[in-house]
Amino acid sequence: MLTVADTKPKPPHSFLLGNVAAITRAKNSLPPKAHAQLTMLKLQREYDLPGIFYLDLYPLSNPLLIVSDPSVSSQLSQADKFVPPSALMDSIGLLIGRHSIFTSSGKEWRRLRLMFSSGFSLTRVTTLVPQLVDDMLVFQKLLAARAKTGHVFRMNDMTTYLSHDWQDHDGRELSITNRAECDCKHVSYCSHLDVVCHQ
199, part of any domain: no
The CA distance from 11 to 48, in Å, is 9
Q: Yes or no: say if 96 and 102 are a contact pair by the CB < 8 Å rule.
A: yes
Q: Which domain holds residue 175?
A: 124-190
pTM: predicted TM-score of the whole model, two decimal places: 0.54
The amino acid present at 109, given as its one-letter code, is W
Q: What are the respective helix, strand and coil percentages of the chain, to the nearest 5? A: 50, 5, 45
pLDDT tens for each residue of 41-66: 999 999 999 999 999 888 888 888 89
Q: Same domain for 131 and 154?
A: yes
Residue 190's φ and ψ, nearest 5 degrees, are: -85, -20
178, part of any domain: yes
Q: Same domain for 47 and 69?
A: yes
Looking at per-residue pLDDT, the higher value among 198 and 33 belongs to 33
Q: Same domain for 95 and 61?
A: no
Residue 93 pLDDT > 80: no
Burial call 93-112: b when 16+ CB within 10 Å, e when fewer = beeeeeeeeebbeeeebeeb
pLDDT for 185:
35
Q: Same domain for 48 and 106?
A: no
Q: Same domain for 72 and 86?
A: no
196, part of any domain: no
